[in-house]
Amino acid sequence: MKSKEWLNRQKNDPFVIKAQNKGYLSRASFKLLEIEKKFHFIRKSNNIIEFGSSPGGWCQVILECNINAKITAIDLSEMKLKHGNIQFIKKDFKTIDYKSLNKKYDLILSDIAPNTTGHKSTDHLRISTYIHDIIDLLNLIAYKNTNFVIKIWKGTEEKLIIEKLKSQFQKVTYFKPNASRKDSSEIFIVAQDFII
């Protein structure tokens, strides 16, 4: 999408306007609010990890829903949001020694996405690689019954990802928030109750 088109879309996007009015750092905040309204994961969680946390829109929602939640936020880009309950790690999530963090989480969130190329199948494969990498971390970072919410762009790897998650969680479903653009292939996979 050309930058002029993108700017026009942003200017007229009701969720962008709503985010600005509410003081959210990103329109993506509304996606997590919808997920929380349906599944009530945040209010039941003490320790939450978020992959792809910058600029901090999801962390804002977490703290709004559960002021006592402790958050480990990971991103290569700086977070705009600072809070005593947030431990921000500015690194590539694949380079972190999770054993040294010595933590497990009730809720694992990922809004992580690669920079898009505009080639849908390439972009899908790139985000899928991230998802497989995060799934490989589950035994290190998840408790029994931990919940997991991850963004994906629809494509060929989906079936394998769903199969992997179904072998590790009691229930796996899709969720498409109203805040996701209708013309976007973005959808969220919601995996409930991790099986150790």
Q: What is the pLDDT of residue 12?
A: 55
26-194 under CATH 3.40.50.620, yes or no: no
pLDDT confidence bin for 192, thresholds 50/70/90: very high
Closest Cα to residue 91, out of 76, 79, 103, 101?
A: 76
Q: Which sign does the torsion angle of CA 53, 59, 60, 65 carry? A: positive
pLDDT digits (tens, 9 = 90+) for 32-42: 999 999 999 99
Residue 22: active-site member:
no
Helices (H) and strands (E) in the chain, counts: 8, 7
pLDDT digits (tens, 9 = 90+) for 129-175: 999 999 999 999 999 999 999 999 999 999 999 999 999 999 999 99
Are 77 and 71 in contact, with CB atoms under 8 Å apart?
no
Q: What is the pLDDT of residue 184?
A: 79
Task: Determine which of 3-7, 130-134, 187-191 has the lowest per-residue pLDDT on average.
Answer: 3-7
Please determine, for residue 115, whether its predicted confidence score (pLDDT) is greater than 80: yes
Q: Choose the catalytic residue: 22, 80, 82, 151.
A: 151
pLDDT digits (tens, 9 = 90+) for 43-77: 999 999 999 999 999 999 999 999 999 999 999 99
Residue where the block lists tokens 């829903």 = 65
